[in-house]
Amino acid sequence: MITTVSTGVSQTNRNIARSSMLAYAKDRIVFGQYAKPFEIKSHEGDTYTWFRPQQLGVAITSLEDGVTPGGASMGFDKVTCSVSQYGNFMLYTDKVNTIPEVRLMDIGAKLLGENMALTLDVLHRNNLNTNASTIIYASNAANTAAITTSQVFSSNDLKRIRRKLTRNVAPRIRAVLAALVST
């Protein structure tokens, strides 16, 4: 079992630094916006499974009075993940409690918050890059290996992406287009 031990710094200062670090990190996480939160209960293992509903097909047949439409079947995709812990720390001495004007705890909280956000963003980005359900490559390439140096990202690619996201009923996220670029 992994435990967190803090010595030499008062509980009050630790709580202030922890909430400051989390607040600082929260505003800097970009790819986490594309992740769906899932509550992890304590003492229930390191692997979790849930089911994601599949999108229904578009109903393009017009309805007629007195005729029951065919309807749609409900389907689910099984999603399984393993829990991993990541973290970093900084060393402080008890002198931190006696020098308020230096604000070492604030500086450390910002640095650790930035490190936390960057770590989570890299993990989210890598997961999206590996497990994404919709991937669109430049110039209609079939996969990463089919992309050549002569292919460029064009306005037509952007239009394809927009159509695909609209068709998949993807939520709008602050009118930002995030592209995963791998070389």
pLDDT value for 102: 56
Average pLDDT, integer, range 162-178: 68
pTM of the model: 0.57
Q: Given pLDDT bands bounded at 50, 70 and 90, which one contains residue 174?
A: low
Using the predicted structure, report yes or no on whether residue 178 has a pLDDT greater than 60. no
Per mean pLDDT, which of 11-15, 61-65, 106-110, 149-153 is the most reliable?
Answer: 61-65
Mean pLDDT of the chain: 77
Q: How far is CA 158 from CA 46, 147, 150, 162, in A?
A: 39, 16, 17, 6
pLDDT value for 125: 82
Per the listing, tokens 């909280």 go with 109
pLDDT value for 181: 56
Using the predicted structure, report yes or no on whether residue 103 has a pLDDT greater than 60. yes
Q: Given pLDDT bands bounded at 50, 70 and 90, which one contains residue 90?
A: confident
45 Cβ contact partners less than 8 Å away, ≥ 6 residues apart = none
- Report the distance separating Cα 5 and Cα 2, nearest Å: 10
Q: Which of 118, 95, 85, 97 is nearest to 14 (CA)?
A: 97
Q: Which amino acid is at 23?
A: A
pLDDT value for 1: 40
28: tokens are: 């800097």
- Report the distance separating Cα 25 and Cα 115, nearest Å: 8
| Residue 49 · residue 80 · CB < 8 Å | yes
Query: Which percentage of the chain shows pLDDT scores above 70?
Result: 79
Q: Which of 70-79, 116-125, 152-161 has the lowest mean pLDDT?
A: 152-161
